[in-house]
C-alpha cells in the first residue's frame, strides 16, 4: 500500500530571476515591483568554506563572500550572481542571523538588482567597473575605507552589524 503525504507549504513568490547582464556575465533581475525597504531575497550562508587554501581564483572572485571573523561562504544562486553598481538599488542587512538583500530604492520589473560591493567590503581589487552609472567610480573597489568621505557618510546607515562591530573605531572617526 502506498501513502501520499501532502504538505501545504506557502512559498514566498520569487521576486527575482537570473539573466545575462549588461554589467558582467549573469545578473539578478526583478520580476516584480519591489518597494524601497522591502526584502528582495534571503542569502544562504550555510555553505561555509573550511579550507580557504583550496579555493580557485574563480571561486574567490565570483563565488565567495568574505564576512567578519574570518568567515568565508560559498555563495549560492541567485545571490552569487548579484553584480556591483556604484549606484546600487539594494544593500545587505543581517536580521536574526540571516543576511537579507533589502531594496534601498524602488525597483521596477526588469531592473537589475545590484549592491555596492564597498558596503561591508574591506578588500582591494582593481577590476574595471562596468556598472554604467553616472557616478561610476571606474574601478570595482570593494573597500569601504577607500570611498570618498561623502559616500562613506551616505552609506553609514546601510552597513551590516558585523561590519560596524568589526570596524567600530575606524567608523567612529568617519562619523566625527
Ligand X SMILES: C[S@@+](CC[C@H](N)C(=O)[O-])C[C@H]1O[C@@H](n2cnc3c(N)ncnc32)[C@H](O)[C@@H]1O
Contact residues for Zn ion, defined by CB under 5 A:
86, 129, 131, 136
Here the cell at position 9 is: 507549504
Q: Applying CB under 6 A, which residues contact ligand X?
A: 21, 23-27, 61-62, 80-81, 83-84, 127, 129-131, 140
Distance CA 113, CA 159 (A): 18
Cβ atoms of 92 and 15 closer than 8 Å = no
Closer to ligand X by CB, 132 or 176: give it. Answer: 132
Closer to ligand X by CB, 34 or 43: give it. Answer: 43
Q: Report what 152 binds from Zn ion, ligand X, none; CB cut-off 5-8 Å by kind.
A: none
Minimum CB–partner distance for residue 29 and Zn ion (Å): 18
Q: Give the pairing of strands 83-84 and 112-115.
A: parallel
Cβ atoms of 68 and 139 closer than 8 Å = no
Minimum CB–partner distance for residue 136 and Zn ion (Å): 3
Closer to ligand X by CB, 80 or 99: give it. Answer: 80
Here the cell at position 151 is: 559616500
- Say how many C-beta atoms besides its own lie within 10 A of residue 50's C-beta: 6
Instruction: Give the residue nearest to ligand X (CB).
Output: 25
Amino acid at each position: 500500500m502506498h501513502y501520499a503525504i501532502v504538505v501545504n507549504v506557502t512559498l514566498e513568490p520569487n521576486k527575482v530571476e537570473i539573466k545575462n547582464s549588461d554589467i558582467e556575465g549573469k545578473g539578478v533581475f526583478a520580476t516584480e515591483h519591489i518597494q524601497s525597504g522591502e526584502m528582495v531575497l534571503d542569502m544562504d550562508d550555510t555553505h561555509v568554506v573550511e579550507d580557504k587554501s583550496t579555493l580557485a581564483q574563480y571561486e574567490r572572485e565570483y563565488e565567495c563572500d568574505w564576512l567578519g571573523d574570518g568567515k568565508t561562504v560559498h555563495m549560492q544562486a541567485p545571490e552569487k550572481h548579484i553584480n556591483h553598481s556604484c549606484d546600487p538599488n539594494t544593500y545587505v542587512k543581517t536580521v536574526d542571523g540571516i543576511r537579507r538583500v533589502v531594496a534601498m530604492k524602488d525597483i521596477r520589473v526588469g531592473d537589475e538588482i545590484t549592491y555596492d560591493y564597498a558596503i561591508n567590503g574591506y578588500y582591494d581589487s582593481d577590476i574595471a567597473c562596468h556598472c554604467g552609472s553616472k557616478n561610476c567610480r571606474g574601478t570595482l573597489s570593494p573597500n569601504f575605507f577607500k570611498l570618498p568621505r561623502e559616500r562613506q557618510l551616505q552609506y553609514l546607515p546601510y552597513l551590516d552589524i558585523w561590519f560596524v562591530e568589526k570596524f567600530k573605531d575606524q567608523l567612529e572617526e568617519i562619523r566625527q
